[in-house]
Amino acid sequence: MKRVYVNEEWCLGCHLCEYNCAFANSGMKDMVTALKDKPIFPRIHVEGDEKISYAVSCRHCTDPICVKSCIAGAISKNDGVVEIDQSKCVGCLTCVLVCPVGALAPSESGIMQKCELCLKNSCGEPACAKGCPNNAIVYEERGEAE
């Protein structure tokens, strides 16, 4: 299946993916209204040092430990996508404790949110990859299918 992959040698560290993610998941029609002068809570974040930068988001692991660890049974994997039912999440952060790549961070309210590949928002495909100016984030097939 298609997933979000990162080509770190192409990442400019511009953080545009974070803004595109926050906007795509805001449910709003206008990016300026959605994001201007507000703290943003994207589901992807850019890490790096003076030499390298790259974006980190959910890897939708083959054997996701967050799904097994969620105390509320709020996280499940459906058709290859690791999804969270926010109405069940109580914000205990156990998923943050176990995510091996550090991809998860809570939303503004403290309830968890995560990358669901923009398949359910108006973008319809990962906004981070769609808007990446240097193809450092791509949405494609790599490796074996599930």
Partner 1 sequence: MKQYVIIGNGVAAVGCIEGIRSVDKDGKITVVSEEKHAVYGRPLISYYLENKTDLEHINYRPADFYEKNGCEVIYGKKAVKIDSEKKSVTLDDKTVLSYDSVCVATGSSPFVPPFEGLDTVEKKFSFMTLDDTLALESAIDENSKVLIVGAGLIGLKCAEGLHFRVAEITVCDLADRVLSSILDNECAEIMQNHLEQNGIKFMLNDSAEKFSKNTAFMKSGKTVEFDVLVLAVGVRANVSLASALGASVNRGIVVDERMQTTVSNVYSAGDCTEGNDISCDEKRVLALLPNAYMQGFTAGANMGGGDKVFDNAIPMNSIGFFGLHVMTAGSYDGEMFEEKTENKLKRLFTKDNCLKGFILIGDTERVGIYTSLIREKTPLDSIDFETLKKVATYTAFSAKTRRKKFGGVV
List residues near partner 1 by CB under 8 A. 3, 5-8, 47-49, 52, 54-56, 59, 61-62, 65, 68-69, 71-73, 87-88, 90-102, 104-105, 110, 142-144
- Residue 28 one-letter amino acid: M
Answer whether 104's CB lies under 8 Å from 94's CB: no
Long-range contacts of 70-74 (CB under 8 A, 24+ apart): 70/94, 70/95, 74/112
- Kindly state the smallest distance separating residue 88's Cβ from partner 1, in Å: 5
Q: Which is nearer to partner 1, 37 or 49 (CB)?
A: 49
Q: Which is nearer to partner 1, 13 or 34 (CB)?
A: 13
- Kindly state the smallest distance separating residue 103's Cβ from partner 1, in Å: 8
- Kindly state the smallest distance separating residue 20's Cβ from partner 1, in Å: 18
Q: Which is nearer to partner 1, 28 or 71 (CB)?
A: 71
- Kindly state the smallest distance separating residue 33's Cβ from partner 1, in Å: 28
Long-range contacts of 35-43 (CB under 8 A, 24+ apart): 39/108, 41/105, 41/106, 41/107, 41/108, 41/113, 42/17, 42/18, 43/105, 43/113, 43/114, 43/115, 43/116
Q: Which is nearer to partner 1, 8 or 30 (CB)?
A: 8
